[in-house]
Structure 1
Amino acid sequence: MSEEMNEIEVKNYEIGDKVNGQVTKVEEKQVIVNISDSKLDGIIPISELSSLHIEKASDAVAEGDELQLEVLKVEEEALILSKRKVDAEKSWEDLEAKFNRGEVFEAEIKDVVKGGLVVDLGVRGFVPASLVEAHFVEDFSDYKGKTITFKIVELDKEKNRLILSHRAVVEEEQGKQKQSVLQSLEAGQVLDGTVQRITNFGAFVDIGGIDGLVHISQLSYQHVEKPSDVVTEGQEVKVKVLSVDLDNERISLSIKDTLPGPWDQISEKAPKGSVLQGTVKRLVSYGAFIEVFPGVEGLVHISQIAHKHIGTPHEVLKEGQELQVKVLDVNENDHRLSLSIKELLEKEEEESTDYELPEESKGFQLGEMIGEQLKKLNK
């Protein structure tokens, strides 16, 4: 076509016109297209190929591609065109619909930049670092090229501002899972869990997308000073559901209730007549409580502490004292253990009292006493 005819045909177009074109040549910094239904060529500068920064034109298009374009400038023999503007116009409509519906969609991470991630949705979408995951991520370098789910959290076409969040999707899924788990829980259930976090009052255990609290008193049958003495973060544990508060989304759990009880098989561990090592735990007016196994205390009644009469257990025992005891009786069902210290002590010889006399003199003395009484009566 002559230059004169090109000039005539070019004048048929105005800035803003939409045209279709086929890529005929891809250069480093621009693309040549043939305008459909004409023999006119158009030029797409590299800056008008994509909403994202690209190093070379071949990153965005290839020869033979059919493109929808907008006229940016009418020159003497060619049209300066934009693919980016057409893509953006279509994209804004689609994105506004997604935003209004709160839709979740997938997109590929095109680039990792300072402060977050970049996504190409026909327009440049930005994912701030704080909105990538529900947990802290130190290095985002391996996110480039990944396809993940997003929701639009901010959209302003006039300012060309599009903010995306993957974290919102994750938290929404976690919320649904949490509700599902909450609805399925019942007191008495025994579940597998993972210790997530330890505090001074207990441990939070993940039981499938939701955390429940194991209070320090429910960690062990033994007294626990610090939860970290008993469990560690990441530890797999079995827990029993104690209660579920749906309104406040609180779950109370117990590790202790999944463990063998200290009184289990106590009849075998402490049969009647057996001798055990124990520690004095508490002294009361009627006796002493002796711990013979972790979590198992038995009572030594005051009458079973010593052969001699004592007023209070404090006279012969003190808390923390270690000693041996004999099992007098065991009741596994009622968690009762009767113990004796006295039966393991040698009986002391009875001391003679002042008024006791030798056998041979008892009769004589008795006669004298009777005689004296008779004399008094006869006077």
Structure 2
Amino acid sequence: MAEEMKTELTEMESLNVGDVLKGKVVKVETNQALVDVGYKYEAILPISELSALHVAQMSDELSVGDELEVKVIRIREDEDKVIVSKKAVDAERAWAELKQKFESGETLTATVADVVKGGLVVNVGVRGFIPASMVERQFVEDFSDYKGRELTLKVVELDPEKNKLILSRKAVLEEEAQKKKKEVLESLEAGQILEGTVQRLTDFGAFVDIGGVDGLVHVSELAWHRVEHPKDVLNEGDVVKVKVLKVDPENERISLSIKETQEGPWEQVARKIKAGDVVTGTVKRLVSFGAFVEVHPGVEGLVHVSQIARHHVETPADELTEGQEVQVKVLEMKPEQKRISLSIKEVEKPEARKEKEENTSSEYTTGGLNVTLGDMYPELRNLK
């Protein structure tokens, strides 16, 4: 035992710059601390050698009795002084660990020590800097509330010789988002009804977040009626129900529909209109065999040429014009086939019908020709 103590004492009789020693804090002053390292006099630990970051006063970081490792950086035997550094020991250990994490892609956690121009500062044994562009996935205007927050980070650049360490939280968030995106893509199936949040509006549609991944609702799938621009029916931030139409995991594309989650126009019209009803509609299209009349937004029924009037109609354009408002009677409803048969002549009032009959009562049909009494008896024309 005596031999061991003697050996230890002999080793401590000689110190060299670069030696790493274990010691105990015996005194804390404003700008320095005295550390017992087993040498003939206490080592001096200046405040500048305590931490990689600025320290206002020693008592903020050290207390009497604290044990720590220090590295000898200067020896002044003529002044009975040994200058040691704690941050040098921390830095050597930190650079080794940081290099390993950089190569393996591992993450580390650190508390934000300060908010500076251009980003955040952390202490991970050495001073680490997180550029503003690497804090979040989205733009952040004010970082004041980040001080004191613990963040999970990745090493993106390190240079021990220049004492340079760049860290990123965004890289961690991107990896997490990609992992979640993959999980969501694998869980999605065509036909699912989900709730999502509108993220972006474009000329061709809306991108909706459905749990960490965005799907596209094409402008044609926004509503059953025609939509000129998505902003006419949606706002960013709106919570909407969507139906999954198609999933392409390989290309990370999801096709969604909002209108498929809503009752369609044919379902609506089936509830509101039945055979025998008389409704008001608008002539949308004229064709050789009749006219298509819109009786509900997005629903058109056919008025066959034979149902336009009680008299013979050569072409629908002789009686109707596009955009004209007309009353029609529903003859037959087949919403499952998206077909409605309509009639205009069946709506004609009895009075109007009687007037037409009276106007033609003096006409006779002979040999297939319409002949008037004046034609048959010319002499009657001169009678007064």
Normalised by the length of structure 2, the TM-score is 0.87
d(CA) in 1 for partners of 2:275, 2:145: 68
Name the residue aligned to 2:380: none
Name the residue aligned to 2:95: 92
Per-residue CA shift, 1:92-115, capped at 9, x if unaligned? 111111111100121111111000
Look up the equivalent residue of 2:22 and give its one-letter code. Answer: N
Name the residue aligned to 1:67: 68
Please state whether the residue corresponding to 2:371 is helix, strand or coil. Answer: coil
Name the residue aligned to 1:273: 276
Please state whether the residue corresponding to 2:250 is helix, strand or coil. Answer: coil
Of the structure 1 ranges 12-21 and 172-181, higher mean CA displacement relative to structure 2 is found in: 12-21
1:164-313 to structure 2, matched below 5 A, reads: 164-264=167-267, 266-313=269-316
Of 117, 122, 125, the match for 1:122: 125
Contact 2:13 2:40 in 1 (8 A): no
Percent identical pairs in the alignment equals: 57
Please state whether the residue corresponding to 1:355 is helix, strand or coil. Answer: strand
Look up the equivalent residue of 2:120 and give its one-letter code. Answer: L
d(CA) in 1 for partners of 2:178, 2:191: 24
How far is the alpha carbon of 1:53 from its aligned partner?
1.3
Please state whether the residue corresponding to 1:318 is helix, strand or coil. Answer: coil
Of 15, 18, 23, the match for 1:16: 18
How far is the alpha carbon of 1:356 from its aligned partner?
4.5
d(CA) in 2 for partners of 1:31, 1:87: 17
Name the residue aligned to 1:40: 41
Look up the equivalent residue of 1:275 and give its one-letter code. Answer: V
How far is the alpha carbon of 1:160 from its aligned partner?
1.1
Q: Does 1:139 align with 2:155?
A: no
d(CA) in 1 for partners of 2:250, 2:11: 72
Per-residue CA shift, 1:295-326, capped at 9, x if unaligned? 21111111111222223222222222222211
Structure 1's unaligned 5+ residue stretches are 1-7, 362-379
Of 319, 342, 345, the match for 2:345: 342
Per-residue CA shift, 1:44-86, capped at 9, x if unaligned? 1111000011221223222211110011111221211100100
Please state whether the residue corresponding to 2:332 is helix, strand or coil. Answer: strand
How far is the alpha carbon of 1:265 from its aligned partner?
5.4
Name the residue aligned to 1:25: 27
Q: Does 1:162 align with 2:165?
A: yes
Look up the equivalent residue of 1:333 and give its one-letter code. Answer: E
Look up the equivalent residue of 1:201 and give its one-letter code. Answer: F
Please state whether the residue corresponding to 2:111 is helix, strand or coil. Answer: strand
Per-residue CA shift, 1:206-255, capped at 9, x if unaligned? 11100000001101111111211111111111111111112211110001
Contact 2:198 2:209 in 1 (8 A): yes
Q: Does 1:153 align with 2:169?
A: no
d(CA) in 1 for partners of 2:270, 2:199: 38
Name the residue aligned to 2:7: none
Look up the equivalent residue of 2:35 and give its one-letter code. Answer: V
Please state whether the residue corresponding to 2:336 is helix, strand or coil. Answer: coil
How far is the alpha carbon of 1:261 from its aligned partner?
1.4
d(CA) in 2 for partners of 1:157, 1:310: 94
d(CA) in 2 for partners of 1:310, 1:154: 84
Please state whether the residue corresponding to 2:141 is helix, strand or coil. Answer: coil
Please state whether the residue corresponding to 1:183 is helix, strand or coil. Answer: helix
Cα distance change of structure 1 residues 49 and 274 upon mapping to structure 2, 3 Å threshold: same
Per-residue CA shift, 1:178-216, capped at 9, x if unaligned? 011111111111111111111111111111100000001
Structure 2's unaligned 5+ residue stretches are 1-9, 365-369, 378-384
Look up the equivalent residue of 2:237 and give its one-letter code. Answer: G
Cα distance change of structure 1 residues 18 and 268 upon mapping to structure 2, 3 Å threshold: closer
Name the residue aligned to 2:5: none
Name the residue aligned to 1:372: none
Of the structure 1 ranges 45-54 and 345-354, higher mean CA displacement relative to structure 2 is found in: 345-354
Contact 1:9 1:40 in 2 (8 A): no
Name the residue aligned to 1:355: 371
* Structure 1 vs Structure 2 CA RMSD: 1.9
Look up the equivalent residue of 1:104 and give its one-letter code. Answer: T
d(CA) in 2 for partners of 1:250, 1:130: 27
Name the residue aligned to 2:325: 322
Contact 1:18 1:71 in 2 (8 A): yes
Cα distance change of structure 1 residues 219 and 9 upon mapping to structure 2, 3 Å threshold: closer
Contact 2:25 2:34 in 1 (8 A): yes
Name the residue aligned to 1:370: none
Please state whether the residue corresponding to 1:33 is helix, strand or coil. Answer: strand
Name the residue aligned to 2:336: 333
Q: How many residues align?
A: 352
d(CA) in 2 for partners of 1:273, 1:308: 22
